[in-house]
Amino acid sequence: MLVAVGVVLVCVVAVVMAWELNRFRRGESLLDRRQLGLRVGGAVLLAVLIIQVLGGIAFVPYSPDLGQTNPRAAVFFLSYWLSCGLMTLVLLIIVRIDFIYLERKHLQEETRLAREQLGPRR
């Protein structure tokens, strides 16, 4: 069941990115290359994170006395989930940068439309 959920989520991410890339190639997208690169990188990171989290749930065991019975397993457990947390943080930073680009584009478009409505300056 967990594998099916992971496959579906990764497929959804892949389909959305394929759609975005197709729109960019046809010139229907308002994204520039930098923003498209951020989105593709974020999508790849999201797919890897989905796989890693679901794999961790399924295959990385935990027990309350893990550190006392097997210190190596405890270190692996902590480093595995810490890497998931760091990837999530990187993904949030990518999303924030993408949002800043989107906000700038919106302001530029709004300014262009306002100037178009007001007509030329005298």
CB 101 within 8 A of CB 35: yes
- DSSP symbol at 34: H
At 1 the three-state DSSP class reads coil
Each residue's pLDDT expressed in tens, for the chain with a length of 122 residues: 777 888 898 899 999 999 999 999 998 887 888 989 999 999 999 999 999 999 888 888 777 777 778 888 888 889 999 999 999 999 999 999 999 999 998 999 899 999 888 877 65
Report how far apart, in Å, the C-alpha atoms of 20 and of each of 31, 35, 40, 47, 108 are.
9, 11, 9, 16, 22
pLDDT value for 48: 93
Distance from the Cα of residue 101 to its chain's centroid? 15
Phi-psi region of 32 (alpha: psi -120 to 50; beta: other; left: phi over 0): beta
Residue by residue, DSSP assigns 42-101 as: HHHHHHHHHHHHHHHHHHS---TTHHHH-HHHHHHHHHHHHHHHHHHHHHHHHHHHHHHH
pLDDT value for 66: 72
pLDDT value for 6: 83
Domain assignments of the chain as residue spans, ordered by start: 2-118
Tokens (6 digits) for 23: 């729109």
